[in-house]
Structure 1
Amino acid sequence: MKLPILLILLIILCHPGHAQTTLQGHVKDGANEEALIGALVSTGADTSVTNMDGNFQLPVAAFPITLQVSYLGYQTLTIQVKEAKEITLALEPSSLTLNDVIVTSGSFSRKTLNTPASIQSINREMLIRDDPFSVANALNRTPGVFMHVGTLTTNRITIRGIGSRSLYGTNKIKAYYEDIPLTDGSGNSSIEDLDQEMISRIEITKGPNSSAYGAGLGGAIRLLAPTPPAQETSAKSSLTMGSFDTRRWVLQGSHHDNKTTVSAVYSDLHRQGYRENSEYNRQQAGVTFKYQLTPQSYIAALGIFTRLKAFIPSSINEDDFKNNPEKAAFTWKQARGFEAYDKTLFGLTYYHGFNQDWSLKSTVFLKNRDAYEPRPFNILDENTFTMGTRNTLAKRWGNIRFFTGIELFFDEYKWKTFENNYDDNSNGSVKGNLLSSNLENRSYFNAFAEAAATLVPNLNVTLGLNLNFTHYTLADQFNESANNISGDYAFDPVVSPKLGLTYATGAHHTLFANLSHGFSPPSLEETLYPDGQINPDILPESGWNYELGIRGTQPRFTYDITTYYMQIKNLLVAQRISDDAYVGVNAGLNNHFGVDILSNYYLPLSDRYTLNAFTSVAYMNYHFDEFVNDGNDYSGNQLTGVPQWIINPGVELLSDLGFYGNLSAQLVGEIPVNDENSLYAERYFILRAKAGFRHVVGPLELDINLGANNLTDTNYAAMLLINATGFGGSQPRYYYPGNPRNYFGGVSLKYSFR
């Protein structure tokens, strides 16, 4: 009898040890891959806290289990785990407490709360508050940022007034998709043709605070690629329809396991348009891929192909703006002017962590844009090919972090112009004789270094340095030697230092200050004299930025208040000498003083419903200090193209029952449209709303939504062509009318295979 009893006792004693398993995993930020230190991982019975590497261990008695992962500033993740294997869990930011979200400011990833610069994050929740056709409304809710929207392809982004003198696009602001520059060698950036499904987050650094992203006067906009939910394979399809015969169809597939992450998106967007000659068609396909080679290394690749054709209504004069805003400019309608291009972007990245202290990240990229644009005054045929690399090295010694790297790329830009022989009977543009043929080569080199350290408890310092060298060459392949405009231009290397300080006044409140230098190089076109010869004396815009701010998080309340002053010298001014010709001159000194305020307050109404109120306020007092141009003295006048204030209030309802909705507004002050300040675009108020229902049944997720833009049906200028000139006695065409009241509705269906 004794032997069976002993066996039974041994089995009872040993069973728990054999049945219990240890589950291991890693918790990270879903977009920038940073480890989340101190995240809570719970099975209900047991809880673990992630360590300095974002890793955790949990005892598990039996599978499957339900894990709940939470971290301040991020959405709580609930996931079922079916077997004992090491897992990677990615969290997405919450729009309720953005100061606790990790962002990449300059060279280091850290919480917004601890960042010595003006940086704001737009997460996925904030992007989908609006219609899916553009990111403009989300950008405009960021204080200090103003995106003018003439059409879906004619846009201009300004940050703290920088870029306001660009005529038709975004200039003097660096833009990146992951680590690939979307800015070309002439400083022009384009983000408006990226579909919302290709973006998981937008990080905006305001002012020349980012050594690692070029030290541009305006700052940098970084778009992060989508990351599928952890431990999921899914397929999704969505259709959105709206006013002006708008249709957007998206097909998406994704997979995310411990080693492989893949996301593929195809989108097709068509809009007939509110205005004449404004039809828009865009097809886009994008793939992102990442494979974890070892726990310390990975390779990643991305590719995006865009095919676009968008007709151009152009700007109109004041009479038409007030009485017939749906009209296109007469000559653009008669020529049926449009922009069409095929654009390809490809990048390959390798990352390796040598140990806990060293890491290397290297990216190579290729870009190509093949474009054709019939305009009333000529037809432009252009091709841009870009190749480049970005390499960074990071090192940590205790509480000291060091980061250095280089960014290098080359543009080959070929462009030709032809006569446009359209007439009343041609029904559009007709290609004629060759007028010009040119080849530009543009090289851009950027080297940067940054170090951060804790000097005393609660006080951190960041030092940064940026070195830039830009060079242009122009080969005239059309004119004879007497009229040939070939030449080259290179300005002296520009060194831009920065100093940033943060002081934690408590666990959730931080004071920050920074001093930084920035610059904006002229484009090759801005270096030309009126006769086409290169002006070797043109200088880049440059200036010093002084910033002081406070940000923090109280229970249910988040705030960020920053005041800044920037003085810009060698202001670049584009002087129009004909329909298609501008020359650049250094004409003055600018003073930019402003205050940015961002706040968020949420109130739990019940166990199921939360009310979230958000507001951004920008006060922008920008004036010409010394500005004499073409014999006219504009000193003391308000900077052209920028309002003195913008307010964006809003409220949203969130529910775990699936219901959601928001109401948001935009108030914009009057805007000077010429340097004389003799004419202002009127202030305006517009209102937007969106509501929907999201429901999950097993592996299926259904989302239905309805929304409206410009509920007030305001006639407003969504974009301005500053300092426009009328030719042949015609009125200047300053205005791009905004869309009147319009509606949209969408439905999406997602199926999760596991």
Structure 2
Amino acid sequence: MKIFLHTNSFLLFLLMVFLPQALLAQRLVGGQVLDARSELPLEGVTITASTGEQAVTNELGDFSLSVPESARRLVFSYLGYETQREAIPPAGQELRVLLQPGEANLQEVVITGYESNRPLLQTAGAVSLIDREVIARFDESSIVRAVNTVPGVRMEERAPASYRLSIRGSTLRSPYGIRNVKLYYGGIPFTEANGTTALNLMDASNIGSIEVLKGPAGSIYGAGTGGTVLLEPRRAAIGESALQVGATLGSYGFRRYTAIAGFGTEKANVLVQYAKQQYDGYRPQSAIDRDVLLITSEFYPSEKRTVGANIIYSNLYYELPGGLTLEQYEENPRQARGGMFGSVTQNASMNQEGINVGVKQEYRFTEQFRNNTVLYGLHRFRNHPFNTDYERNASQEFGGRTSFAYDTNIGSVGASFTVGGEFQRGFEASRTYDNNGGTPGNLRSDDEVVAKSGFLFAQAEFKLPADIIATAALSLNDTRYEITRLQQVGTGDYIYNRDFEAELSPRIALLKQLTDKISVHASVSAGFSPPTEEEILTSNGILNEDLEAERGTNYEVGVRGFALANKLSFDVVAFYFRLSETIVSRQDVSSVAVFRNVGSTNQKGIETSIGYTFIDEPEQALSLLKAWTSYTYSHFKFDEYQRDEDNFSGNWLTGTAPHAATAGLDLNTSLGFYMNATGTYVDEIPLNDANTVYADSYLVLGARVGYKRQLGYHIGLEVFGGVDNLTNEKYSLGNDLNAFGGRYFQPAPDRNYYGGINISYKL
């Protein structure tokens, strides 16, 4: 008994001696955590000290935490937001932490398409998202590999910066350039009135995120059967002013340099970005030199009003190595097209200089009633020696878009109504010459082209009982071309007007949210796609007066959601699309693409995206480990196709692979090391309408590893390196379809490497 009393007395003595010292060694840290964009308080944010102590914010976003003097930093983590580390401030100073929204799960991602701004789980339509992390997992020389990570989308690059894009279809209408797909940048039209899009004037680093709306589902975006792509600009972090510079070097003379300055406050967000990219080329006559200056801004003068502006200036030069025959491709894929009209001999290349300026305003009259209005203008000059001719074009364009949205309740039913319109007018002065070894020769044709396109749209959305959302949308579209031929050898002058009859494009969709984690959706939509200016007025100066607009109807059903404690995400869509008056292209003897309507196509498909997060613990040594995959099955065939004496009905649709898949593995560590691995498989592709020539299937692997760390408060460092086409696969990434003389193949580079560094400084 005496031993027990003595022991307790001794422990009490030790406690009385050391407790005051322990208390003196502690300090109290407090502050508030807010959403970076809205600056509203965040409840439930976990704050972890570097010594292990934890606290949670209350409903006001406030926290207090007692930490030992040895603690150096606090880690703030919250579902749907980027994990943030902050140094512990001096005694008596409170922290004000602005958390940035991060890569969220399906329940949290908000879709801006369809003008409804609903979470993805409540969006009735096939939508794919490509965020900044996906774009940055590659070397950013282009966005092709990032776009090809999502199902139902195929992007190609016939030569560096020579993009083609198709959504649920082939590239038959796009022997070069992007057509039949409508693009917007920050809500401002980026596709021109003539139906073409010069996406190569933009740098991959200019893009913060991408939403892809598939098929004729975007009624509120006007005419089109090929889908809509919404690009969001890269923006400065809210509450942060920073400078960043970066450099990347790679195989075949690849050089890339970037400089960014941005600041974000509660009243303004401004980002200025310059990107310089150069590449000597894998093949002769395949170099590129591009300068892009981006200024993007948003201002918040009041709670009701947001004003923004984008300015993009680009100066682009890239060379065109030309297509190879199968024999040339197998003999030496690194050669360029030769002969009298060879690419090197004729200096086949593209010079484009352009500036796009857009302004926008969002105004909330009340909590229920709001308006979005944008105005834009562009100027572009193109100097284009091709293998068989020489083109010089200058374009000017202006346009605008406005929409009014009203949210209300009709009894117990929530309703949202949207109406608006869009108009574009473009003028182009176009001249073609003989190409005399890369210099313009005799004038062939001199044209002035005015393109006008516009549409009115309306959409009604109802939130019905039993967690059902019903949507009905309609647009009325009109397109007109006015072509004045000032001069053409042998034919004289004339004026040609083509006014495509205004047509309605309806869409009906239903969504049922089965649980808070799973929803199903179905929709029916119809659309039409008038020919672009380049399909009516080809580069050989011949007018294609008989070309009609494509018309299509799309049916689809899908299910998306997440399971297994939110670790598994999935998105599956099945669709049936029937297209009439299908436009196809083929090359004539002078390699000029000519177009015609050929009946109809029958397109059935399945698109799947699946992801699984094994580890997502920011404070563990292995902080993130996730795997993902996308798969596309395309059963696309010509339904009716008669060309002269040839009947191609029942043939596989030219330029479309029946199977395509992409998979990736992402790994991050708390120390800052990371690894991204990507593999892409594409099945064999028919290269002509007769289905007698195919491109072989291929599997391309790539990986990027790096170290990314914040060195104190001010300096951030990223060092990285990567490899593309790791297995040295031989493949063609931009086949010329129905090519004259069998020149189908545009070889992609073999195994190549890159490495670089990014340094940022917080002001």
Indicate which of 618, 623, 645 corresponds to 1:631.
645
2:727 matched to which residue of 1?
A: 712
2:746 matched to which residue of 1?
A: 736
2:88 is aligned with 1:75: no
2:274 is aligned with 1:260: no
| % identical aligned pairs | 27
Indicate which of 405, 412, 417 corresponds to 1:402.
417
Task: Sort the Cα spacing of 1:235 and 1:600 in 2 relative to 1 into closer, same or farther, 3 A.
Answer: same
Measured after TM superposition, the shift of residue 376 of structure 1 is: 2.7
Q: Which digits, 9 at most, give the CA deviation of each residue in 1:443-465, with x for residues without a partner?
A: 01022111211111211111111
Give the alignment of 1:419-434 within 5 angstroms.
419-422=434-437, 429-434=438-443
Measured after TM superposition, the shift of residue 335 of structure 1 is: 1.5
Confirm or deny: 8 A CA contact 2:178 2:198 kept in the other structure.
yes
Quote the RMSD (CA, aligned, Å): 2.9
Alignment length (residue pairs) = 710
Q: Secondary structure at the match of 1:125?
A: helix
Q: Secondary structure at the match of 2:205?
A: helix
Task: Sort the Cα spacing of 1:558 and 1:288 in 2 relative to 1 into closer, same or farther, 3 A.
Answer: same
Q: Which digits, 9 at most, give the CA deviation of each residue in 1:61-118, with x for residues without a partner?
A: 99x997946344x4345568999999995634317x3453112121211111111001
Counterpart residue type for residue 498 of structure 1? R
Confirm or deny: 8 A CA contact 1:38 1:71 kept in the other structure.
no
The whole-number CA distance in structure 1 between the counterparts of 2:43 and 2:474 is: 34
The whole-number CA distance in structure 2 between the counterparts of 1:471 and 1:138 is: 35
2:521 is aligned with 1:512: yes
1:10 matched to which residue of 2?
A: none
Give the alignment of 1:312-711 within 5 angstroms.
312-330=320-338, 331-398=342-409, 399-422=414-437, 429-479=438-488, 483-527=492-536, 537-554=546-563, 555=565, 556-579=567-590, 581-604=592-615, 607-609=620-622, 610-698=624-712, 699-711=714-726
Task: Sort the Cα spacing of 1:417 and 1:67 in 2 relative to 1 into closer, same or farther, 3 A.
Answer: same
Which blocks of at least 5 consecutive residues in structure 2 are unaligned? 1-28, 48-53, 67-71
Q: Secondary structure at the match of 2:488?
A: coil
The whole-number CA distance in structure 2 between the counterparts of 1:211 and 1:644 is: 28
2:23 matched to which residue of 1?
A: none
Q: Secondary structure at the match of 1:244?
A: helix
Confirm or deny: 8 A CA contact 1:105 1:115 kept in the other structure.
no
Confirm or deny: 8 A CA contact 1:209 1:215 kept in the other structure.
no
Measured after TM superposition, the shift of residue 650 of structure 1 is: 1.6
Q: Which digits, 9 at most, give the CA deviation of each residue in 1:314-345, with x for residues without a partner?
A: 11111111111111111111112211111101
Question: TM-score with structure 1 length normalisation?
Answer: 0.89
Measured after TM superposition, the shift of residue 22 of structure 1 is: 10
The whole-number CA distance in structure 2 between the counterparts of 1:27 and 1:574 is: 49
Indicate which of 208, 214, 217 corresponds to 2:216.
208
Confirm or deny: 8 A CA contact 2:637 2:650 kept in the other structure.
yes
2:757 is aligned with 1:747: yes
The whole-number CA distance in structure 2 between the counterparts of 1:445 and 1:148 is: 29
Q: Which digits, 9 at most, give the CA deviation of each residue in 1:492-513, with x for residues without a partner?
A: 1111110111111111000111
The whole-number CA distance in structure 2 between the counterparts of 1:743 and 1:26 is: 39
Give the alignment of 1:127-206 within 5 angstroms.
127-206=135-214
Measured after TM superposition, the shift of residue 185 of structure 1 is: 2.2
Counterpart residue type for residue 518 of structure 1? G
Measured after TM superposition, the shift of residue 524 of structure 1 is: 3.1
Measured after TM superposition, the shift of residue 362 of structure 1 is: 1.0
The whole-number CA distance in structure 1 between the counterparts of 2:456 and 2:476 is: 5
Q: Secondary structure at the match of 2:330?
A: helix
Measured after TM superposition, the shift of residue 418 of structure 1 is: 1.7
Give the alignment of 1:219-230 within 5 angstroms.
219-230=227-238
Counterpart residue type for residue 723 of structure 1? N
The whole-number CA distance in structure 1 between the counterparts of 2:408 and 2:573 is: 31
Give the alignment of 1:12-31 within 5 angstroms.
28=37
The whole-number CA distance in structure 2 between the counterparts of 1:394 and 1:65 is: 45
Task: Sort the Cα spacing of 1:21 and 1:582 in 2 relative to 1 into closer, same or farther, 3 A.
Answer: closer
Counterpart residue type for residue 302 of structure 1? N
Task: Sort the Cα spacing of 1:395 and 1:532 in 2 relative to 1 into closer, same or farther, 3 A.
Answer: same
Counterpart residue type for residue 648 of structure 1? T
Q: Secondary structure at the match of 1:200?
A: strand
The whole-number CA distance in structure 2 between the counterparts of 1:414 and 1:48 is: 63
Counterpart residue type for residue 636 of structure 1? G
Indicate which of 257, 269, 278 corresponds to 2:277.
269
Measured after TM superposition, the shift of residue 240 of structure 1 is: 0.3
The whole-number CA distance in structure 2 between the counterparts of 1:87 and 1:589 is: 61
Q: Which digits, 9 at most, give the CA deviation of each residue in 1:151-191, with x for residues without a partner?
A: 22222111111544321122111111112222122322232
Q: Which digits, 9 at most, give the CA deviation of each residue in 1:689-736, with x for residues without a partner?
A: 11001111111111001100001101101111110112xxxxx21110
2:136 is aligned with 1:116: no
Task: Sort the Cα spacing of 1:733 and 1:460 in 2 relative to 1 into closer, same or farther, 3 A.
Answer: same
Confirm or deny: 8 A CA contact 1:133 1:196 kept in the other structure.
yes
The whole-number CA distance in structure 2 between the counterparts of 1:580 and 1:368 is: 28
The whole-number CA distance in structure 1 between the counterparts of 2:166 and 2:227 is: 10
Over alpha carbons, which structure has the higher Rg? 2
Measured after TM superposition, the shift of residue 528 of structure 1 is: 5.9
Measured after TM superposition, the shift of residue 481 of structure 1 is: 10
The whole-number CA distance in structure 1 between the counterparts of 2:466 and 2:305 is: 33
Q: Which digits, 9 at most, give the CA deviation of each residue in 1:336-380, with x for residues without a partner?
A: 221111110111111211111111111110111111011232211
Q: Secondary structure at the match of 1:113?
A: helix
Confirm or deny: 8 A CA contact 2:34 2:61 kept in the other structure.
yes
Confirm or deny: 8 A CA contact 1:75 1:91 kept in the other structure.
yes
The whole-number CA distance in structure 2 between the counterparts of 1:394 and 1:80 is: 44
The whole-number CA distance in structure 1 between the counterparts of 2:539 and 2:287 is: 35
The whole-number CA distance in structure 1 between the counterparts of 2:559 and 2:41 is: 24
Q: Which digits, 9 at most, give the CA deviation of each residue in 1:604-656, with x for residues without a partner?
A: 28723221101000000000001112332100000000100001112111222
Confirm or deny: 8 A CA contact 2:406 2:417 kept in the other structure.
yes
The whole-number CA distance in structure 2 between the counterparts of 1:87 and 1:478 is: 68
Confirm or deny: 8 A CA contact 1:163 1:218 kept in the other structure.
no
